[in-house]
Amino acid sequence: MAKLGKRTRSAREAFAGKDEVSVAEAVALVKEHAKAKFDETVEIAVNLGVDPRHADQMVRGKVALPNGTGKAVRVAVFARGEKAEEAKKAGADIVGAEDLMETVQGGTIEFDRCIATPDMMPIVGRLGKVLGPRNLMPNPKVGTVTMDVAEAVSAAKGGEVQFKVEKAGVVHAGIGKASFDAKKLEENVLAFVDAVSRAKPSGAKGTYMMKVSLASTMGPGVSIDVTSATGNA
C-alpha cells in the first residue's frame, strides 16, 4: 500500500475523533486542511434512508446556492430559431439542434449542463444512453426542459446546483471552493441540505437524512451533526 503523504496524514490526524461536528466546525476543518496547489472544491455528501430503485423513493431537485459554486459552468442548449437566439444572448456556450445531437453522439460532450425546449425532446431523447449516466439529461422537474431558456441558462451560470440520489442512497455536490469565506460556505451547506430535505419523496420511511459529510477534493471527510445542518438543533 502506498504511503500517505505528509499533508494527508496531517489532515487525517486533525480529523480523527471529530465526528458529528457543527457545520461551522466542519467548514473550518476542511478549509484549514485544503492545501493542494489548486483551489480545491468543497464537496458535500448526504446519505439518505431511501432506495432509489423504487420510483416513490427517488430524490432529485435543484438549489440556487446563495454564494454560487465558484465553478465556471458550460451550458449547452437544444433549441431552434428565436429560442436559440435567446439562449445565445443569455450566455449559453453551445446552441444547436440535430447538429448538436450528432456532436454528442460522436462522443464530444463539452458542457456541464444541458437545457432543451420541449419541442427538442424527441431529438434529445435519442441521447439518453449518453447523457443519462452523466446526469446531463434535460428534465422538466429541475427546469432544464423549458421554453424560458434564458432564465435556465442564467440559473446554471449563476451557481444553481442539481442533485440526484445515486443507487447507494447518496446525494453529493460541489458547494463552493476552499478559498471561499467560511460564512459563505456555511450558507451554501445549509441551503443544499435544506433543498435535499424539501425533496423528501413520499415513499421515504423512517429516518430520511442519515448522515451529512463535508470534504475538499484532496482531503478526508468530516461528518456533520445532522441537526446542525438541518437547523433542528
Displacement of CA 4 from its chain's centroid (Å): 29
Whole-number Å distance between alpha carbons of 190 and 134 = 26
Q: Are 112 and 146 in contact (CB under 8 A)?
A: no
List the pLDDT tens digit at each of the 233 positions of the chain: 344 456 566 656 666 556 789 999 999 999 998 988 999 999 999 999 999 999 999 999 999 999 999 999 999 999 999 999 999 999 999 999 999 999 999 999 999 999 999 999 999 999 999 999 998 999 998 999 999 999 999 999 988 999 999 989 999 999 999 999 999 999 999 999 999 999 999 999 999 999 999 999 999 899 999 998 987 54
Three-state DSSP class for 100? Answer: helix
pTM of the model as a whole: 0.83
Q: What is the H or E stretch that residue 192 is in?
A: helix 182-198
Q: Is 172 left (phi over 0), alpha (psi -120 to 50) or beta?
A: beta
Q: Are 157 and 67 in contact (CB under 8 A)?
A: no
Quote the pLDDT of residue 80: 97
* Cell output for 4: 500517505
Q: Which of 20, 39, 19, 50 is nearest to 163 (CA)?
A: 50
Quote the pLDDT of residue 2: 43
- In the chain, what are the domains? 18-69+161-230 (3.30.190.20), 75-158 (3.40.50.790)
